[in-house]
Structure 1
Amino acid sequence: MSRIRILVLESNDLSISRIIKNLENNNFIVDICINNDKFLEKIYKNLYDLYIFNIDETLNNRFQLIKMLNSYQDLTMKMVITSIQSIVKLSYLSGCDECVIKTINETEIILRIKTLIRRQFRVYTDTIYLTKNIEYEIFNKRVLINKKDIFLGKKATLILEYLLKFRGSFVSTDSLEKGVYPANSDSKNGVIRFYIHQLRQVIGDNLIVSHRTYGYKIDI
């Protein structure tokens, strides 16, 4: 079973270690780095569901990092954590999706993170129903048919997840590749087609529509 993966851009003092421990205790996978270069190395090699930036007055270059990610259309949700109230406005102006103060209690930060993840899927629940008997659990990243767990494999699951985020609209093969492969991967269109075929075998042929020009769309 996969889980939500979070990349935390921390400072040398590990000032949000309490929050990081709380995330791990709530079944999130957490990777940590301490500067912008290491952050970029991480996202070059891995895919994440959420970025968390620890920002104080001495780390304003991290606002530029957030702006750069948005300019490259990195759709991963971005949260800023700070101890300084004035940073909140700057964070939103830089393009973050959420900003919280470090004194936030353990329950509230988990609720806010889950809300951010749900926002990507445009739902208010932890489950998306593809049909009456097929469901996708957002935080466990798994498909259930008649309440039975169905193994899809990592890439097929990521493709389903990406299509669900943009359900009702066509997604190009290029966009799918960028969404389900890290930047350092040498992905090919034929591989995407293979996993689409695998998905159709599990959830049915009718749910995923293909178009030679526009790509793929999931209709639910």
Structure 2
Amino acid sequence: MNILLVEDDAMLAAAIRERARQEGLVLDHAADAESARLALLDNVYSVILLDLGLPGESGLSLLRGLRAAYNATPVIILTARAQMSERIAGLDAGADDYLVKPFEFSELWARMRAVTRRSEGKTVPTLTCRNVVLDVARQAVTCDGQPVPLSAYEYRTLLVFMERPGHIIARSHLQTLIYGADGDVESNTIAVFIHQLRRKLGEDIIETVHGQGYRLGKDVA
């Protein structure tokens, strides 16, 4: 089992990591939402253990973003917030389970096993544009049935367009959707991603709408 722990309490994170090691589990640790997103770009996890009270962006916001992006990885919220309203908010945002601190590690492992069993067989959509298919669950793209390797940000750029067929997306808004509100990137980076997608998937996959932005090719969707 490959676990992502999103927790800003260094002592608690170290304790969970050590107990996971003793159980023969692989655990990565992220101390904030942005570090968690970067970890999720490069890894597929069996389960995410998520603290709500993160510095900066909250765990609840991170969870909503994951579900909005079709990330169906099971999530167990770990928090000191025991109020029923907090539990309901977490479950409504897409959490699979909720465990209040302090907790017994044996219960945590049991809950992880339960949510991963329940997640088996769950389906998430595939998005299709003519000869291009984006498998959201596997974060994989094929063109004419052949796999097309994309960088993490090329994939995220394509996902934005395929989720919004027919919509014109301004470059500044596209940048926010890909990098987040605090993303600081060079002015030509988005154009580079689009150029690469056109090179790999066909020139008509993304259309430039002069003076407005870009959209999925109108003859493609």
Q: 1:89 is matched with which residue?
A: 85
In structure 1, the partner of 2:202 is 204
Superposed displacement of residue 97, structure 1: 1.5
Q: Is the contact made by 1:167 and 1:217 (CA closer than 8 Å) also made in structure 2?
A: yes
How many residues get paired?
188
Deviations 1:153-203 (A, max 9, x none): 333222112222334423221122223347464321x32123212212332
Match of 1:157 in 2: 155
Instruction: Provide the rounded CA distance (Å) in 1 between the counterparts of 2:65 and 2:121.
Output: 16
TM normalised by structure 2 equals 0.58
On the 8 A contact 2:87/2:98 being kept in 1, the answer is no
In the alignment, the residues of structure 2 paired with residue 63 and residue 80 of structure 1 have an alpha-carbon distance, to the nearest angstrom, of 19
| Shift in CA distance, 94/143, structure 1 to aligned 2, threshold 3 Å | closer
Identity fraction in percent = 12
Q: Which residue of 2 aligns with 1:128?
A: 127
Task: Please give the alpha-carbon distance, in whole angstroms, between the structure 2 residues aligned to 1:63 and 1:191.
Answer: 28
What is the correspondence of 1:97-116 to structure 2 with a 5 Å cutoff?
97-99=93-95, 100-102=97-99, 103-106=110-113, 108-109=115-116
CA distance in 2, matches of 1:114, 1:64: 34
Task: Name the CA shift for 1:46/1:175 in 2 (closer, same or farther; >3 Å).
Answer: farther
1:96-129: per-residue Cα shift (whole Å, max 9, x none)?
72231345342524755997xxxxxxxx535322
CA distance in 2, matches of 1:198, 1:48: 22
Equivalent-residue separation in structure 2 for 1:138 and 1:92 (angstroms): 27
User: Tell me, which stretches of 5 or more residues in structure 2 are unaligned?
Assistant: 69-74, 100-109
**Change in CA separation of 1:42 and 1:105 when aligned onto 2, cut-off 3 Å:** closer
- Is the Cα–Cα contact under 8 Å of residues 81 and 101 in structure 1 kept in the other structure? yes
Instruction: Please say if 1:53 is aligned against 2:50.
Output: yes
**CA distance, structure 2, for counterparts of residue 113 and residue 172 of structure 1:** 38
TM-score in terms of structure 1 length: 0.58
The 1:212/1:48 distance shift into structure 2, 3 A limit, reads farther
- Whether the 8 Å contact between 2:169 and 2:215 is mirrored in structure 1 is yes
Change (3 A) 1:31 1:87: same
1:1-220 map, 5 Å: 8-9=6-7, 11=9, 12-14=11-13, 30-33=28-31, 39=32, 42=35, 46=38, 48=40, 53-54=50-51, 61-62=53-54, 65-66=57-58, 69=61, 75-77=65-67, 81-82=77-78, 86-87=82-83, 89-93=85-89, 97-99=93-95, 100-102=97-99, 103-106=110-113, 108-109=115-116, 124-125=123-124, 127-131=126-130, 133-181=131-179, 183=182, 185-188=184-187, 190-218=188-216, 220=221
Quick one: higher RCO (CA 8 Å, sep 6+), 1 or 2? Answer: 1
Greater Rg by CA: 2
Q: CA RMSD in A?
A: 4.7
For 2:60 and 2:94, the matched residues in 1 are separated by 17
AA partner of residue 66 (structure 1): S
2:124 match: secondary structure:
coil
Per the TM alignment, residue 17 of structure 1 is displaced from its structure 2 partner at its CA by: 5.4
Go from structure 1 to structure 2 and tell me whether the alpha carbon gap of 1:7 and 1:199 turns closer, same or farther (over 3 Å shift).
farther
